[in-house]
Amino acid sequence: MGFFSRLKKAWQSPDEVARQAVEEYRREQGLQEAEQPAAEPEAEAPAAPPRPAAEPAPQAAEAVAPPVSDAAPTATEDWQADLTLALRQAEPRLSQWLNTIVEGVEEKGQGLWDRLAFLFKALGAPENEAKKFIADFAAWLDEMGYQAVPEFKSELQYRLALALELEDEEDERDRLFLKLSEGISKTREQITKRIDGLLSAHSSLNDEFWEEFEEILIMADVGMEAATQLMENLKARARKAGTDNPDDFKDLLRDELEDIFKVPPRIKAVNPPEVLMMVGVNGVGKTTTIAKLAYRARLQGRKVLIAAGDTFRAAAIEQLEVWANRVGAGFYAKAEGSDPAAVAFEAMDKAVSEGYDLLLLDTAGRLHTKINLMEELKKIERVVGKKHEGAPHRCVLVIDATTGQNALSQAKLFNEAVGVDEIILTKLDGTAKGGVVVAVTLQNKLPITFVGLGEKMEDLRPFNGKDFAKALLT
Ligand SMILES: Nc1nc2c(ncn2[C@@H]2O[C@H](COP(=O)(O)OP(=O)(O)OP(=O)(O)O)[C@@H](O)[C@H]2O)c(=O)[nH]1
Ligand SMILES: [Mg+2]
C-alpha cells in the first residue's frame, strides 16, 4: 500500500485499523515507533501522516487539527473545515487531492497559497519547507507569466510529487504513464496499428508474417540492422515458448523490448559537485534539456550551477541564462566567442568553491573556429577533470528522435570521441519514428536515461523500458 493509501486510511477512520496502517508504514520505512496514536479517536481532523522515507519526523504522529471552536465558525474556519471534509472524501491520490485543493480557485494568489499550506500542514511537512515550496512556486509563476489554474496545475502536481517523494506512487506513475503514452502516440499509431493488421491477417508466425513485420520495423525507423537482430531474438523467443500463434506475439515482443532496454546505468562514484556534460549536434535539444534537468534537481533540493559552454552565439548564452533564472539555478558564462574549455574550467572552480551539488555544462553543436568539435569536447573533459577528480561524471548525448537513422551515426561518432555514458532522446512527441530508440539502444548498449516528450519542464521523463514497451503496444 502506498503512502497516500495509508495516509488516507488514517485520515478517514481514526481508529485502531488506521493507527496500525500508519505504524506498519513507519516500520517499513525504518521510522521510529509513534509515541501516540496517529489519529486520536476524538480528533475530527486529518491525522498527520508519516513523512516519506529518509526524513525522520518526530512530529509525524501529531494530529493536525484544523481550528475547530465552539464559537460560530469564521470564514477561515469554514473553508478549512470544508477542505478537510473534501480531502477525507477524495480518493487517496495526489491528483484527486490537488483537484480538491484547487476546487473553486481560479487563479494564483493568497487563496491558493493558504490552501496549499493547509495541505502541507495536514501532510506533516515542516512549516519552513512548505513556505519555501510555495514561495518558489509563486516566483516561478510570476517568471512564466502564468495566472489561471489550468495553466499551471500539472506543473504544480509534478512539483508536489517530487517534493513529497511521491514520484513512484501508483497515482504519479499512472499519470506519467499516460503522459508517456500520449507522448509516443504517433509512433504507437505507426507500429501498433500495423501489427494489429498483421496479426489479424495471419494464422501463424510463418515466413510471410516475419517479412511483413520487418517492413513495419523499417517504417518505424528501427533500422535494418536492429530489425534483423530483433527478429532473430523474437523467433528464438517464439521457439522457446513453443508457439507460432499470432495471439502470443505481442507478449513476446513486449518481453523482448523490455530486455533490450535493460541496459544497466553506468554508476560512477561521485564526489560532489557532480558534473554532467551535455553533448550533441545542434538543435537536438541540449539547452532545453539542461533546463529541464536543472529544474528536476532543484525540486529535489539540489544546488545547481549551469555553465554556458556553447559560446557560438550570444543568443545561446542569453537563452541559457533565462532558463537558469527561471529554474532557480546559478549561472556562469563568458562573452560570446570565448574558449568553451575556459568557461568549463572556471565554472568548475565556482561549483567547487561555492558548494554546488550539480554542475550542468552546456556545449555547442558546432563551433566558430575550424577546430574540430570533438577535439573541443575532449579538451573540456580534460580541464574539468584536472580541476575536479572524476569530472565529468556523466557525459550525456542528446539525440533528436525525429532525425531517424541519423541518430545512429551521431551516437557512434560522439561515443568514439568523448565516451558517452548515457543518452537522452528528445522530441519523441513529434515523431512516428520512435522505433529509433530500439536501434540506438541495440547499437550502443548505452542506457537511455530520459526521454523528451514536449517543450514543457515536466516533459522530460525518466526512461523506463518496461513502461515504454507497454505504452507502445497497448
Ligand atoms: N516537441 C519537443 N521539442 C523539444 C524537445 N526538446 C527540445 N525541444 C525543442 O527543440 C528546439 C531546440 O532546442 P535547444 O535546446 O535549443 O537545442 P540545442 O541542442 O541546445 O541547439 P543548439 O544550441 O543550436 O546546438 C527548441 O525549440 C526546443 O523547445 C522535446 O522533447 N519535444
Ligand atoms: Mg543549445
What is the band of 56 on the pLDDT scale with cuts at 50, 70, 90?
A: very low
Q: Are the beta carbons of 93 and 171 closer than 8 angstroms?
A: yes
End-to-end distance of the chain based on CA atoms, in angstroms? 26
DSSP conformation class of 460: E
Q: What cell was used for 245?
A: 500463434
**Whose CA is closest to 13, among 47, 63, 36?**
47
Neighbours of 12 (CB within 10 A): 17
Answer yes or no: is the C-beta of 310 below 6 A from any ligand 1 atom. Answer: yes
Please name the residue ranges forming H helices in 261-405.
286-299, 314-327, 340-353, 373-387
**Whose CA is closest to 99, among 11, 89, 109?**
89
Rounded to whole angstroms, the Cα distance separating 345 from 298 reads 23
Mean pLDDT of the chain: 82
- Determine the average pLDDT of the residues in 434-450: 88
The torsion angles phi and psi of 425, rounded to 5 degrees, stand at: -105, 115
The pLDDT, as a whole number, for residue 66 is: 38
Answer yes or no: is the C-beta of 328 below 6 A from any ligand 1 atom. Answer: no
The pLDDT, as a whole number, for residue 215 is: 92
Answer yes or no: is the C-beta of 451 below 6 A from any ligand 1 atom. Answer: no
- Determine the average pLDDT of the residues in 412-417: 91
Rounded to whole angstroms, the Cα distance separating 364 from 147 reads 35
Residue 264: CB partners within 8 Å, gap ≥ 6?
A: 447
- Determine the average pLDDT of the residues in 180-198: 87
Answer yes or no: is the C-beta of 313 below 6 A from any ligand 1 atom. Answer: no
Answer yes or no: is the C-beta of 454 below 6 A from any ligand 1 atom. Answer: yes
pLDDT of 297 > 70? The answer is: yes
Neighbours of 387 (CB within 10 A): 17
- Determine the average pLDDT of the residues in 302-307: 96
What are 338-357's pLDDT values in tens digits?
999 999 999 999 999 999 99
What is the band of 51 on the pLDDT scale with cuts at 50, 70, 90?
A: very low
Amino acid residing at 390: G
- Determine the average pLDDT of the residues in 269-276: 88
Q: Identify which of 288, 312, 321 to mutate to test ligand 1's pocket (most ligand atoms within 8 A of the CB).
A: 288
Q: Give 452 Cα–ligand 1 centroid separation in angstroms.
A: 10
The pLDDT, as a whole number, for residue 111 is: 93
Proportion of the chain above pLDDT 70, given as a percent? 81
Cβ-count burial of 110 within 10 angstroms (0-12 exposed, 13-18 middle, 19+ buried)?
exposed
Rounded to whole angstroms, the Cα distance separating 207 from 362 reads 48
pLDDT-wise least confident of 76-90, 160-174, 179-193, 316-330:
160-174
What are 24-43's pLDDT values in tens digits?
555 555 554 434 333 333 33
Q: Which one is predicted more confidently, 361 or 319?
A: 361
Strongest mean pLDDT among 59-68, 339-348, 368-377: 339-348
Strongest mean pLDDT among 72-76, 295-299, 379-383: 379-383
Peptide bond into 58 cis (omega under 30): no
Rounded to whole angstroms, the Cα distance separating 85 from 437 reads 47
Q: Give 33 Cα–ligand 2 centroid separation in angstroms.
A: 51
Neighbour order of strands in the sheet with 304-309: 330-332, 304-309, 358-363, 274-279, 394-400, 422-426, 448-452, 460-462
pLDDT of 169 > 80? The answer is: no
Looking only at the bridges linking them, the beta strands covering 448-452 and 460-462 are: antiparallel
pLDDT of 459 > 70? The answer is: yes
pTM exceeds 0.85: no
Strands (E), 110-229: none
Closest ligand 1 atom number to CA of residue 426: 31
